[in-house]
Structures are given as structure tokens and as C-alpha cells.
Amino acid sequence: MGSGMKTPLILLLCLEILAFAVLSMASTSITNDAYPAGFGDEPGSGSGSCASREDVLVPPRRELYDEGRIFDISHKYRPDMPSWGSTEGLGQFLWLPASMKNGSLANNSEMKLPTHTGTHVDSPGHVFDHYFDAGFDVDTLDLAVLNGPALLVDVPRDKNITADVMKGLNIPRGVRRVLFRTLNTDRRLMWKKEFDTSYVGFMKDAAKWLVENTDIKLVGIDYLSVAAYDDLIPSHQVFLEGREIILVEGLKLDDIKLGIYSVHCLPLRLLGAEGSPIRCILIK
């Protein structure tokens, strides 16, 4: 082989090595806390990637955080989630009147939904008109009650929560926040579109027993109402008359072990509203 052939062969070999390196980089995806598996290198990140792979962007949607230490116990808002009294679910609640695809400088959504939708909180003005007129709205609720140690308990599955059921749970004095998991979770009622009046909730005698015999100030439950359908307003009134107990409804308690957690619930500061969507988490 003559010396004149060496340079083209060396150049060809370099080009093959470079092509192999580029293909290897293109097939490699990064996985970390910020970007899920399958997401290619971002342009300009210093990784040498030549183009964005927007067609494979997959945003992470989690129920657990911090290696399983934090549980999200609030439901995602979706058109087919149950809404009070509706057979067709919540329906459309989100619109995009300003869209970048239609020439707007940014995407700006609008939302319209009842304040007692999904995971939400009740204020005293929900069932007492004089409290509503006086301004006892969700902005007046005590964040010290909505955040702190909480006990998750299982309720017997064959009945509503009565005074006898409450007695049988043996919740000790000093416990201030209790989340009640019921047959509603087993039946996955919050995942069904049609509102179900057969959900499990508190009867009036159970609400009265809780108020008079425990130190509980936060009552959480796994469907749209803490009160059983047959005792809807009376049970709410017993809980809310003293303005000391806060009701958190529509919790997502699937697959969470019984026990003590730190609960953190934050309603929106909606002046004049007797209810509010709420983001609720449990921390081990």
C-alpha cells in the first residue's frame, strides 16, 4: 500500500469512530429526580446533544415522594371524577383561552369547579348561615389544626360510622387528627364517575360522640362528605357548630399502612368561600 493512501484511511477510521460515538450518545437517556427515564439530553446542557427529543417527553406523576416517605393523599382533578349529585362526573373544569399554539405569548388556563370538589375542606359557613354571614370562611381555618401528627385508622366495613363504631376504635385522648379509611376506599368510589349515595360516613350520634368524648379537631374521610347521606346536614352541624373541628373530605387513602403520620393540608385562601380544594400529604 502506498503512502498516499494512509491519510484517507486514517480520516475514514476517525469518521467511523465519531459516528459510533454520536449514535451511542443519542441512544443514551438520563434518569434523575428532575427528568424521567427516556428523556434525552437537553440542548445547551453541555452533554453534547445536538437536538431536543421533545417527542419522548414524559412528565413524572407521583403518589410517593422522597423514596416513599411522603404520600400524596389528595386526588387529581379530572373530568370523570365524582361530583356531588352528578351521574356524569365533574365534566370539563379547565379551559385554555390563551394558547401559544393560537398566537398568545404564553399559555394561560382558566378553571371553574365547585369548591367542594375532590379533596377539599369545609368551613363552619358550609352549614350555618349565620357563620357564613359573619365571615367564617376557609381563610379563617386554623393551620395549626390542619398540620401536625395524625392517626390513620380503618373503620369496620359493614356499616356507617355510628357512636358504637367510634367507641370500638378506642382512639385515645390527646389524638387531635384522625383520618378514617372506610369501605369507600375498598369500593374505589372516588375513582367512579357517578356520585354514589351509599358511601360510608358519620351518623349524627357518632359525630356527637366524637365531639364529646375525644380531643379530635381534624376529621378526614375518603369520600365527598364526612357525613352519611342519611344524616347529611345533622352530622355536619354537630361537627361544625363549635367552630373547632375541621372537616377534610375526599382523601385518597389507598395502600397506606395504618399508623401515625405527620399530615399537612393547605386550603386556598378564598375569602367568602365555605369550602376549598386542598392539597394534603402524609409524611412518615
Q: What are the residue boundaries of the structural domains of the chain, listed by start? A: 7-60, 120-283
pLDDT of residue 53: 57
Q: What is the pLDDT of residues 209-236, one digit of tens each?
A: 999 999 999 999 999 999 999 999 999 9
Residues 6+ apart with CB under 8 A from 78: 90
Instruction: Say what angle helices 204-213 and 232-240 make with each other, to 10 degrees.
Output: 10
Tell me the pLDDT of the chain averaged across its residues: 86
> Using CA atoms, how far apart are residues 253 and 263, in angstroms rounded to an integer?
12
Find the radius of gyration of the CA atoms of the chain: 27
Q: What are phi and psi of 189, to 5 degrees?
A: -65, -30
Give the amino acid at 206: A
218-221 and 246-249 strand pairing:
parallel
Q: Residue 55's pLDDT is what? A: 78
Instruction: Tabulate helix, strand, coil % of the chain (nearest 5).
Output: 30, 20, 50
120-283 adopts what CATH topology?
Glucose Oxidase; domain 1 (3.50.30)
Q: Which three cell numbers stand for residue 31?
A: 434518569
CA atoms of 23 and 153, how far apart (whole Å): 54
Other CB atoms within 10 Å distance of the CB of residue 64: 12
Least confident of 10-24, 125-139, 172-186: 10-24
Predicted confidence at residue 39, as pLDDT, reads 30
On the question of pLDDT at 182 being above 50, the answer is yes
For residue 252, the model assigns a pLDDT of 98
Report which of residues 188 and 39 the model is more confident about. 188
Provide the pLDDT confidence category of residue 56 given band limits of 50, 70 and 90.
Answer: confident
Dist. CA 158–CA 165, nearest whole Å: 10
Give the H or E element holding residue 26.
Answer: helix 6-26
Distance CA 220, CA 213 (A): 17
38 versus 123: the higher-pLDDT residue is 123
Q: Is the per-residue pLDDT at 242 higher than 80? A: yes
The answer to whether the beta carbons of residues 116 and 138 sit under 8 Å apart is no
pLDDT band at 149 (very low <50, low <70, confident <90, very high): very high
Q: Which residue has the higher pLDDT, 65 or 43?
A: 65
pLDDT at 159: 87
Lowest mean pLDDT among 7-21, 72-86, 129-143, 232-246: 7-21
3-class secondary-structure state, position 146: helix
